[in-house]
């Protein structure tokens, strides 16, 4: 079966409502975490440790998201993977989550406050994964659209020659 050179290609994009929901959710998670950390009772060292833990978790979420997506893309293209990189990325994420959890559990603060910090922290992590996926999807859609526009321009130039 021959495929027409003019067969329509569709570039799937997220809706504006989805993008707004993702950004609002991430902003709310950052706000809730920031509020919890700003009013954290106890010593300044505990507060500093928790801020570093949250930032470490947040950065490893974005690295892990990219690594998982790149691994999937490489496997579809039949390219080899770098196993040590996978270990570093997953290890970094596990260490970030583990140390932050350890810091949260060992702090001598009210259990209700610990629960608030824990839930807001997990909300931050999950919303960051969603944001990372949404940003990557938008980037890939932009690339696909640019590629499609280039192909259409080349076809147009070829027909006019």
Domain limits of the chain? Answer: 52-150
Least Cα distance to 57 among 121, 134, 136 occurs for 121
Least Cα distance to 86 among 61, 59, 68 occurs for 68
The phi, psi pair for 110, rounded to 5°, reads: -60, 140
pLDDT at residue 142 greater than cutoff 90: no
pLDDT at residue 2 greater than cutoff 50: no
Separation of alpha carbons 136 and 140, rounded Å: 6
Could you read off the pLDDT of 111-139 as tens digits, one per residue?
999 999 999 999 999 999 999 999 998 98
Rounded to an integer, the average pLDDT of 64-93 is 88
Has this prediction a pTM greater than 0.85? no
Could you read off the pLDDT of 10-65 as tens digits, one per residue?
778 889 999 999 999 999 999 999 999 999 888 888 889 999 999 999 999 999 99
**Sequence-ordered list of residues with C-beta below 8 angstroms from that of 84, at least 6 positions apart, any chain:** none
């Amino acid at each position: 079966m021959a495929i027409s050179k003019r067969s329509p290609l569709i570039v799937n994009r997220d809706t504006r409502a989805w993008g707004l929901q993702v950004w609002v959710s991430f902003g709310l998670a950052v706000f809730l975490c920031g509020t919890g950390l700003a009013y954290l009772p106890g010593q300044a060292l505990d507060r500093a440790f928790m801020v570093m833990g949250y930032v470490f978790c947040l950065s490893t979420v974005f690295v892990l998201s990219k690594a998982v997506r790149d691994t999937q893309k490489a496997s579809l293209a039949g390219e080899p993977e770098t196993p040590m990189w996978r270990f570093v990325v997953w290890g970094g994420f596990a260490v970030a989550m583990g140390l932050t959890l350890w810091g949260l559990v060992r702090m001598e603060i009210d259990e209700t406050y610990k629960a608030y910090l824990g839930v807001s922290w997990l909300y931050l992590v999950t919303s960051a994964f969603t944001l990372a996926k949404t940003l990557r999807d938008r980037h890939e859609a932009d690339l696909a659209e640019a590629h499609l526009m280039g192909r259409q321009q080349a076809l147009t130039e070829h027909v006019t020659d």
